[in-house]
Amino acid sequence: METPYQNHIDKADFDYVYEPAEDSFLLIDALEKDLKYLKAKNPMLCLEVGSGSGVIITALAMALPNTFCMSTDVNLRACVMSKLTANYNKVQLESINMDLATSTRDNIFDVVIFNPPYVVTETAECGGRDIAASWAGGVKGREVTDRLLDMIPKKLAKNGTFYLLLIKENIPDEVIKIMSEHGFKYEMVIERKVKNEHQFVFKFY
């Protein structure tokens, strides 16, 4: 999968929007690894929740030209940057300022992707709309993720797939249990140790 160009972004804008980092690129690598599966699925509609600068959903839109791609972010500046990244790379993206996928219709997404704010913080730090929303994950770094886990069964289309990045501190086994209780199978697509983090991308289907 090609990495989208982001030369249009002024470096200073990353004071306000999450700058793509190792976690973003691990998720792109996971989608690349699963590209045969994704192409065979021929998804009509893909959603990236929390798209930040738009690097992941743009990479997916470039790899799946027949798929309609959508993104949400609680940070308005991130929505604008995602749209510009897609435009710059000549793909279509609908980018919407929204909390997770709360205002979308049910049972419509063939693929949902989330690189969440996963850092363990005080609860009071998470739930904002600015740059801190990029990392502040509250208890176990899972407060935002857990809200999305409860929405996934309702938002995915039949036979839909959900890709989620987690770190060890998020206790992936607990996430697997929650998703199993929702009736999903899982696969760990890729993992990487980066600096002091052990990152994983799980696929639930």
Cβ atoms of 14 and 81 within 8 Å: the answer is no
Stretch of 19-27, 29-37, 58-66, 171-179 lying at the interface with ligand SAM (CB under 6 A): 19-27
In angstroms, the CA 192 to CA 132 distance is 24
The single residue among 4, 20, 43, 141 that binds ligand SAM, judged by CB under 6 A, is 20
CA distance 50 to 71: 7
Where do the H-state alpha helices sit in the chain? 22-33, 35-41, 55-63, 76-88, 143-155, 172-181
- Point out which span in 1-9, 36-44, 71-79, 173-181 binds ligand SAM (CB under 6 A): 71-79
106 CB contacts (<8 Å, ≥6 apart)? 154, 155
202 scored as a contact of ligand SAM (CB under 6 A)? no
Residue 75 found at the interface with ligand SAM (CB under 6 A): yes
Instruction: For ligand SAM, give the closer residue by CB, 150 or 180.
Output: 150
Closer Cβ to ligand SAM, 185 or 193, answer by number: 193
Q: DSSP letter string over 94-110? A: EEEE-STTTTSPSS-EE
CA distance 99 to 186: 25
Least separation in angstroms between residue 144's CB and ligand SAM is: 5
Per-residue mark of binding to ligand SAM, 125-164 (x: CB under 6 A): --------xx---------x--------------------
Interface with ligand SAM by CB under 6 A: which residues? 18, 20, 23-24, 27, 49-53, 55-56, 72-75, 78, 99-100, 115-117, 133-134, 144
